[in-house]
């Protein structure tokens, strides 16, 4: 698995088109202390090949999260995706509002679909052959 850090998040976002991708699955496993984990699976487009790929994002040390479904259409297509680094946490927002200026912590916390963790790793998941 590849680690996503402040130094390489820009390269990651240039490689994969997250906007317009699909949320396939998410899970959070809560545990005592800072050992909670999370997993999000997305189907996104890789810019270089213009092919759809499945990404698995694994969060270690989950500190905050919200996945809330409100009345109306559910979150299927990702409209705006943001990453943020605040103190020692990485935030991922899957339903961000486009705003001028850099995102703030409260922008993530106001979201219906976000995770904040101490670490984030990612990998491409191969399609299952039937």
> In this structure, is residue 82 part of a structural domain?
yes
How high is the pLDDT of residue 73? Answer: 64
> In this structure, is residue 27 part of a structural domain?
yes
**What stretches of the chain show up as alpha helix (H) in DSSP?**
9-15, 105-109
Q: Residue 17 in contact with residue 47, Cβ under 8 Å?
A: yes
What tens digit of pLDDT does each residue of 3-45 get? 999 999 999 999 999 989 999 999 999 888 768 999 999 999 9
> In this structure, is residue 130 part of a structural domain?
no
> In this structure, is residue 84 part of a structural domain?
yes
> In this structure, is residue 120 part of a structural domain?
yes
Q: Where are the beta strands (DSSP E) in 68-109?
A: 82-86, 89-93
Cα–chain center distance at 42: 8
Give the domain range for residue 121: 2-125
> In this structure, is residue 89 part of a structural domain?
yes
> In this structure, is residue 106 part of a structural domain?
yes
What tens digit of pLDDT does each residue of 76-93 get? 788 888 999 999 999 999
Q: How far apart are CA 50 and CA 108, in angstroms?
A: 29
> In this structure, is residue 85 part of a structural domain?
yes
What CA–CA distances, in Å, run from 18 to 10, 15, 95?
A: 12, 9, 11
How high is the pLDDT of residue 129? Answer: 65
Q: Please provide the average confidence, as pLDDT, over all residues in the chain.
A: 88
Mean pLDDT computed over 56-66: 94
How high is the pLDDT of residue 84? Answer: 93
Q: How many folded domains does the chain comprise?
A: 1
How high is the pLDDT of residue 130? Answer: 64
Torsion of CA 32, 23, 104, 36, to 10 degrees: 10
- Cβ neighbours of 56 (radius 10 Å): 16
């Amino acid at each position: 698995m590849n680690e996503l850090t402040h130094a390489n998040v820009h390269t990651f976002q240039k490689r994969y088109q997250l906007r317009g991708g699909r949320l396939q699955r998410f899970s959070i496993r809560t545990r005592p202390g800072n050992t909670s984990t999370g997993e999000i699976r997305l189907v996104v487009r890789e810019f270089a090949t213009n092919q759809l790929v499945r990404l698995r994002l694994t969060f270690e040390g989950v500190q905050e999260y919200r996945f809330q479904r409100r009345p109306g259409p559910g979150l299927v297509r990702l409209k705006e995706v943001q990453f943020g680094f605040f103190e020692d946490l990485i935030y991922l927002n899957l339903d961000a509002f486009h705003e001028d200026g850099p995102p703030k912590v409260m922008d993530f916390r106001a979201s219906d679909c976000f995770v904040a963790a101490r670490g984030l790793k990612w990998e491409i998941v191969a399609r299952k052959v039937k």
